[in-house]
Chains A and B, each alone.
Chain A
Amino acid sequence: DIQMTQSPSTLSASVGDRVTITCRASQSVSLWLAWYQQKPGTAPKLLIHKASTLESGVPSRFSGSGSGTEFTLTISSLQPDDFATYYCQQYSSFSLYTFGQGTKLEIK
């Protein structure tokens, strides 16, 4: 099974900060990596797929990079609406998708 490990688990930052969240896979997932944002009481929202492709309607301050086993999600200038929990997910194998454990982005 492919394990996904996110770091950090919690991140405290201020409006305007640049933040980066890392996701590591236990084996290569090529580019088949997505990032989701989730706010309390709501369904996850897809931000980025195929490691770096921004979903339609997602602000350009979000960006993704990486391939193989190491990936990053960067928010270039945090806005108040960005404080949420972020999850990576690999979808390289039909038989098993896996989520990271999540990174909670908090206001400092």
Chain B
Amino acid sequence: QVQLVESGGDVVQPGRSLRLSCEASGFTFSNHVMTWVRQAPGKGLEWVAIISYDGSYEYYGDSVKGRFTISRDNSRNTLYLQLNSLRAEDTGVYYCARAGEPWTAIAAAPDWGQGTLVTVSS
């Protein structure tokens, strides 16, 4: 079955960087658009970034544009999120999710990882 496992969350100081990973299995990773979604403590879901199945397109939410970079390695079945210039408001659980239909971003996300916690604090 589909499995998504995030890693890389940590406690970091403001202004520092972090890279999150999401290892995928149970489906053809290279056929699916992937997204990152985050959730601040006690708050709602916030869409962060999306990447096309082949890595040729990527888009970001306004709050992370210019600071975060989404990427993927289809040979390793792994999705990444590089977080730079971290701020206290970036604190939260980061989830990776798979678009439910191959080849398209116009699809809901039936599969999510368990999340990885990023804490930005001095």
Chain A interface size band reads 20 to 34
A92 cross-chain contacts in B, Cβ below 8 A: 106
Q: Which of A1, A44, A87, A100 contacts B62 (CB 8 A)?
A: A1
Q: How far is the CB of B115 from chain A (nearest CB, A)?
A: 6
B interface secondary structure, majority:
loop
A34 cross-chain contacts in B, Cβ below 8 A: 108-109
Q: Give the distance in Å from the alpha carbon of A36 to the alpha carbon of B57 in the complex.
A: 26
Q: How far is the CB of B40 from chain A (nearest CB, A)?
A: 12
- Given contacts A1-B62, A96-B61, A97-B35, is CB(A46)–CB(B109) below 8 Å? yes
Q: How far is the CB of B103 from chain A (nearest CB, A)?
A: 12
**A49 contacts partner chain B, Cβ-Cβ < 8 Å:** yes
Q: Which of A1, A49, A97, A102 contacts B44 (CB 8 A)?
A: A102
Q: How far is the CB of B5 from chain A (nearest CB, A)?
A: 12
Q: Which of B61, B62, B110 contacts A55 (CB 8 A)?
A: B110
Decide if A97 touches B47 in the complex (CB within 8 Å).
Answer: yes
